[in-house]
C-alpha cells in the first residue's frame, strides 16, 4: 500500500472532510465532484467507482473521481500525470474524461496511446458562471417540471442528448436507465421546461448541486423554434429558479464552437471563469 505521506491511494468515508476541504478551494469548478462526494460519502458501492487522492507530505493535494466519468480535482499537470499512471494499471472503465484543460490534457497525453481512439475530443469548452439575477426578463412560462410531464419531456431529453453527444442515450438498451435519470431530476426539482400545446419548447436541468453552486446541463430548444428568444428568456428563468431554491451560483460549460449557445449565455449574464476539456469514448 502506498504511504499517505506521498503517493496515491483510494479515499474512503474517513477522508470525506479532507476531500471537501480540498475541492472547496474551487467550489464552482468542482461542483460535480463535491456533489458526488457528499451524496455517496465516498463509498465505492455508491460512487460506482473510486475517488483517488494524491498526497504530498501527508497532505491531500489533488483528487480524481474515477467512475463512469474520470474527473480530476484540483490537479496540476504533475498530479494529472500521476493519476494517469495509476489509471494505466487497470483496464479503462470510464466513458468520459472531463475537467479543467490543464489537467485533462496531460492526463490524456499519458493514457491516450493505451486507451485507444476516443469517439470525440472537445479541447476547448468555456466554463461559465453567474452569481446574480439575469438582466434579461425571465420567461414566466418556464417552470419546474412534475411527474405528469415525464412522457412529454422524455423525448425532448433524448433529442437533446443525441444532438449534443452524437449517440442516443437509449443505445444499447439503456433507455430505461436514462428515463429513470430524467424522472429523478424531476423528483428532485432539478428539471425545468416551457410547454406549448403539449410540446416542450425549452428545457434545462441541474446536473449536480451543492450549497455553493449548481451546474446546468441539457439546455435545448427544438430546431424549428430556435431564433425566437426562447433560450435567452428560458435561461433567465432557470437562473432565477436555481438561485432562489438551490444554490447562489449557477455554472455550465459550453463548446467553443457553439457560437449560438455562447451568445445566449453571454446575453443572460454568464461570464467565463475557466476552460474545460472532454474526451468521450
Q: Which CATH number characterizes residue 70's domain?
A: 3.40.630
State the pLDDT at residue 6: 59
Indicate the burial class of 31 (C-beta count within 10 angstroms; 0-12, 13-18, 19 or more): buried
Of 74, 123, 53, 65, nearest to 95 by C-alpha is 65
Q: In the predicted model, what is the mean pLDDT of the chain?
A: 95
pLDDT single digits (tens) 111-131? 999 998 999 999 999 999 999
pLDDT single digits (tens) 201-211? 999 999 999 99
Of 120, 124, 134, nearest to 254 by C-alpha is 124
Please report whether residue 267 resides in a domain: yes
pLDDT single digits (tens) 208-231? 999 999 999 999 999 999 999 999
| Total number of domains in the chain | 2
The average pLDDT across 131-150 equals: 96
The average pLDDT across 61-68 equals: 97
In this structure, are 88 and 169 located in the same domain? no
Share of residues in the chain with pLDDT > 90 (%):
92
In this structure, are 266 and 151 located in the same domain? yes
Check if the beta carbon of residue 52 is closer than 8 Å to that of residue 87. no
In this structure, are 102 and 224 located in the same domain? no
Higher pLDDT, 2 or 156: 156
Please report whether residue 40 resides in a domain: yes
Q: What is the DSSP letter of 126?
A: E
State the pLDDT at residue 156: 97
For the cut 70, the answer to whether the pLDDT of residue 180 exceeds it is yes
In this structure, are 212 and 110 located in the same domain? no
Please report whether residue 246 resides in a domain: yes
State the pLDDT at residue 201: 98
Please report whether residue 134 resides in a domain: no
Which three-class secondary structure state does DSSP give residue 25? coil
In this structure, are 109 and 221 located in the same domain? no
In this structure, are 155 and 238 located in the same domain? yes
Of 155, 260, 169, 246, nearest to 208 by C-alpha is 246
Check if the beta carbon of residue 64 is closer than 8 Å to that of residue 83. yes
Please report whether residue 125 resides in a domain: no
Its domain, for residue 46, covers 6-116
Higher pLDDT, 166 or 40: 40
Amino acid at each position: 500500500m502506498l504511504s499517505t505521506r506521498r503517493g496515491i491511494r483510494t479515499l474512503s468515508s474517513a477522508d470525506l472532510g479532507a476531500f471537501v476541504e480540498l475541492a472547496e478551494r474551487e467550489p464552482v469548478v468542482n461542483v460535480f465532484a463535491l456533489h458526488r462526494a457528499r451524496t455517496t460519502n465516498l463509498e465505492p458501492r455508491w460512487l460506482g467507482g473510486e475517488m483517488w487522492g494524491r498526497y504530498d507530505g501527508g497532505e491531500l493535494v489533488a483528487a480524481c473521481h474515477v467512475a463512469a466519468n474520470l474527473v480530476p480535482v484540483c490537479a496540476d499537470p504533475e498530479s494529472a500525470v500521476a493519476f494517469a499512471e495509476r489509471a494505466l494499471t487497470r483496464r479503462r472503465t470510464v466513458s468520459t474524461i472531463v475537467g479543467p484543460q490543464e489537467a485533462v490534457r496531460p492526463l490524456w497525453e499519458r493514457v491516450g496511446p493505451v486507451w485507444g481512439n476516443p469517439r470525440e475530443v472537445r479541447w476547448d469548452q468555456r466554463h461559465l458562471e453567474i452569481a446574480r439575477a439575469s438582466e434579461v426578463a425571465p420567461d414566466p412560462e418556464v417552470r419546474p417540471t412534475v411527474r405528469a410531464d415525464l412522457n412529454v419531456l422524455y423525448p425532448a431529453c433524448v433529442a437533446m442528448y443525441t444532438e449534443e453527444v452524437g449517440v442516443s442515450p437509449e443505445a444499447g438498451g439503456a433507455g430505461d436507465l436514462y428515463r429513470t435519470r430524467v424522472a429523478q431530476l424531476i423528483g428532485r426539482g432539478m428539471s425545468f421546461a416551457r410547454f406549448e400545446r403539449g410540446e416542450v419548447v425549452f428545457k434545462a436541468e441541474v446536473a449536480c448541486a451543492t450549497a455553493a453552486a449548481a451546474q446546468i446541463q441539457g439546455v435545448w430548444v427544438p430546431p424549428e423554434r430556435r431564433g425566437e428568444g426562447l433560450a435567452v428568456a428560458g435561461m433567465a428563468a432557470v437562473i432565477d429558479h436555481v438561485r432562489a431554491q438551490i444554490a447562489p451560483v449557477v455554472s455550465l460549460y459550453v463548446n467553443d464552437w457553439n457560437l449560438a449557445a455562447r451568445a445566449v449565455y453571454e446575453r443572460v449574464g454568464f461570464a467565463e471563469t475557466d476552460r474545460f476539456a472532454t474526451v468521450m469514448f
